[in-house]
Amino acid sequence: MATYCLTVARLQLVLGHGARRLHVSAAYRAQAQVSMSRFEPASFINYEKLQSNVNIVRKRLNRPLTLAEKIVYGHLDDPHHQEIDRGRTYLRLRPDRVAMQDATAQMAMLQFISSGLPRVAVPSTIHCDHLIEAQIGGAKDLARAKEVNKEVYNFLASAGAKYGVGFWKPGSGIIHQIILENYAYPGVMLIGTDSHTPNGGGLGAICIGVGGADAVDVMAGIPWELKCPKVIGVRLTGSLSGWTSPKDVILKVAGILTVKGGTGAIVEYHGPGVDSISCTGMATICNMGAEIGATTSVFPYNHRMRTYLEKTGRGQISKLADEYKDLLVPDEGCKYDQIIELNLNELKPHINGPFTPDLAHPVSEVGAVAKKSGWPLEVKVGLIGSCTNSSYEDMGRAASLAKQALDKGLKCKAQFTVTPGSEQIRATIERDGYVSLGTSKRQTSALPYHYVVGAKMVLFLTSLGVSLWESPQRDQLRKLQ
């Protein structure tokens, strides 16, 4: 509001008052238009429509709304008449944009071409990442993928150019990291043809993984149907510290809800503990929400998101989001279908698996469980990357720990793989000297026991430990002496 008043005051000095009041409003509206991304300067964020739809639905339901409800109901095709009953009715929605990975984009683009439409109805992108096989190393694997999939890449690039779909070439990065860096923003509704599309919830967005046919509907301008989701609230108190990372939040939640507990629901994180988690940390949590069957996950807009938007060259979006902050957080007094309470002060580093991502144990206990269950204790290979832990923050945390280990004369005792989430992240960690801390080699042999842990724990287990018996709280001083 302050920005609006200041703008009006300045314009009135030039335009005067009275009859020219309309010119002030028109000028402000023109100035307030903010592009959805730097690649789509003619597609604008429309918080006014989102706010209008939310007001209509709130009045109809006569109750406070969760953030998930605000964004979902704010994209209703007919907010005046849509029947709304969480967990029962089907909603007709108008998502803002579509994202497709290269494996599913092929059929989706063929289906869209058969529609006969000249261009896509909403901003859409194709990301070439899934067809790159990890076998030897980044450069060689990329070159091989370009050769093997040349026809596919040429088709997707040419079809994208013809029908107005953005094309991210192989080597540009993982689809979810590219979306977070360039396309996700608070309040947007995005559907993507990959199960980990919810990654964008770390920027206050409703991002949902769908099949190719659903993507075609949205690109063709047809309302998209979704069963009205329930809303599971996860209230966070305290703050993360020490060895505990954002990944441990979702590892703990997965242990509570199991792989089926989130089915048909949106997981909405809220509470004072949210502010202790970085934007990319929130994205990691939302990303892995797919493993509990959730429709998607989301965090409320806060200063962490504002900083991330500014650092990724989207300061205008953060300023606009500040103007609509009340729209981008849950209403006071809103009701959830289920509440989970997590005190981050008490949360310990977790390790989930093997065999299923909801088999959760604190790291300090998993060794005893593994021995009792007959699981191997030796750690053979570690990975920091994939679409869940491939941010600059993850790389930086691991690099800091690696430097401490190197300074003490320790060497990596197991194979260790790093896969940055985007070319931007790769270039940045190279600029900051993280790559020089060690080289990585990809592991391709079949390992039957896989575990899910945070980035720092991966480094600990592969360099300082190599046994599931090791615990950072218990053993770190001995290892670093």
Q: Which amino acid is at 363?
A: V
pLDDT bracket for residue 310 (50, 70, 90): very high
Which has more confidence, 206 or 379?
A: 206
Q: How far is CA 436 from the centre of its chain?
A: 28
Question: Is the pLDDT score of 259 beyond 90?
Answer: yes
C-alpha dihedral sign at 184, 188, 194, 198: positive
Whether the per-residue pLDDT at 30 is higher than 60: the answer is: no
Q: What percent of the chain has pLDDT over 90?
A: 60
| Choice between 259 and 450, residue whose per-residue pLDDT is larger | 259
C-alpha 9: how far from chain center: 39
- Residue 103 forms part of a structural domain: no
Q: Taking 90 as the threshold, does the pLDDT of residue 382 lie above it?
A: no
Per mean pLDDT, which range of 34-38, 141-145, 276-280, 367-371 is the poorest? 367-371
State how far the Cα of 337 lies from the Cα of 191, in Å rounded to an integer. 24
Q: Which amino acid, residue 219?
A: M
In a domain, 420, yes or no: yes
The mean of the pLDDT values for the chain is 85
pLDDT of residue 133: 84
- Do 63 and 330 contact (CB within 8 A), yes or no? no
Q: What is the 3-state secondary structure (H, E, C) of 141-189?
A: HHHHHHHHCHHHHHHHHHHHHHHCEEEECCCCECHHHHHHHHCCCCCCE
What number is the average pLDDT over the span 269-285?
A: 95
Q: Is 28 exposed, middle or buried (0-12, 13-18, 19+ CB in 10 A)?
A: middle
Q: Are 216 and 108 in contact (CB under 8 A)?
A: yes
CATH no. for residue 401? 3.30.499.10
DSSP SS3 for 330: coil
Look-up: residue for tokens 């706010």?
Answer: 51
User: How far is it, in rounded angstroms, from Cα 367 to Cα 128?
Assistant: 39
Distance from C-alpha of 256 to C-alpha of 193, rounded to nearest angstrom: 27
* Res. 32 pLDDT band, cuts 50 70 90: low
- 181 in a structural domain: no
Domain membership flag for residue 405: yes
Per-residue pLDDT, 455? 60
Percent of the chain with pLDDT over 70: 83
Query: Within 13 Å, how many C-alpha atoms sit on residue 334's CB side?
Result: 25
pTM for this predicted structure: 0.86
Of residues 457 and 30, more confidence is placed in: 457
Q: Are 177 and 385 in contact (CB under 8 A)?
A: no
Residue 404 burial (CB count, 10 A): 16
User: Which of 243, 248, 252 lies closest to 479 in space, CA to CA?
Assistant: 243
pLDDT score recorded for residue 470: 56
301 within 8 A of 177, measured Cβ to Cβ: no
Mean pLDDT within 256-282: 96
Contacts of 377 (CB under 8 A, 6+ apart): 367, 370, 371, 467, 468, 469
Residue 388 lies in a domain: yes
Local confidence band at 375 (pLDDT 50, 70, 90 cut-offs): confident
Residues 6+ positions from 9 with CB-CB distance below 8 Å: none
Average confidence (pLDDT) over 36-47: 96
d(CA 91, CA 88): 10
Average pLDDT of span 94-121: 97
Inside any domain, residue 125: no
What residues does 236 pair with on adjacent strands? 342
Judged by average pLDDT, the poorest of 88-92, 120-124, 404-408 is 404-408
Residue of 448 and 369 predicted with greater confidence: 369
Q: Is 237 exposed, middle or buried (0-12, 13-18, 19+ CB in 10 A)?
A: middle
Mean pLDDT of 135-153: 90
How many structural domains is the chain composed of?
Answer: 2
Q: Is the peptide bond before 354 cis (omega within 30 degrees of 0)?
A: yes
pLDDT band at 352 (very low <50, low <70, confident <90, very high): confident
pLDDT of residue 5: 46
- Identify whether the C-beta of residue 425 lies closer than 8 Å to the C-beta of residue 173: yes
Q: How many helices (H) and strands (E) does the chain have?
A: 18, 15
Give the Cα separation of 245 and 268 in Å (integer): 19
Residue 463 DSSP code: I
Q: Is residue 20 part of a domain?
A: yes
Question: The tokens of 35 are what?
Answer: 């592009």
How far apart CA 229 and CA 413 sit, in angstroms, is: 46
Angle at 248 between CA 247 and CA 249, to 5 degrees: 90
Can you tell me the mean pLDDT for 334-345?
98
Q: What is the mean pLDDT of residues 440-460?
A: 52
Q: What is the domain extent for residue 395? A: 361-480
Burial class (CB in 10 A: 0-12, 13-18, 19+), 220: middle
SS3 297: strand
What pLDDT, on the 0 to 100 scale, is given for residue 458? 65
pLDDT at 437: 57
Confidence check: pLDDT of 140 > 70: yes
pLDDT at 378 over 90: no
pLDDT of residue 467: 55
Spatial separation of the C-alpha atoms in residues 95 and 29, rounded to whole Å = 23
pLDDT > 50? residue 394: yes
Residue 14 pLDDT greater than 50, yes or no: no
Which residue has tokens 């300074």?
Answer: 407
Higher-pLDDT residue of 290 and 398 is 290
286: which 2 tokens?
């939302």
Does 224 reside within a domain?
no
Q: Which pLDDT score is estimated for 425?
A: 76
H, E, C per residue of 46-104: CHHHHHHHHHHHHHHHCCCCCHHHHHHHCCECCCCCCCCCCCCCEEEECCCEEEEEHHH
pLDDT number for residue 463: 57
- What is the band of 190 on the pLDDT scale with cuts at 50, 70, 90? very high
232-255 residue pLDDT tens: 999 999 999 888 889 999 999 999
CB 184 within 8 A of CB 176: no
- Pick 461 or 28 by higher pLDDT: 461
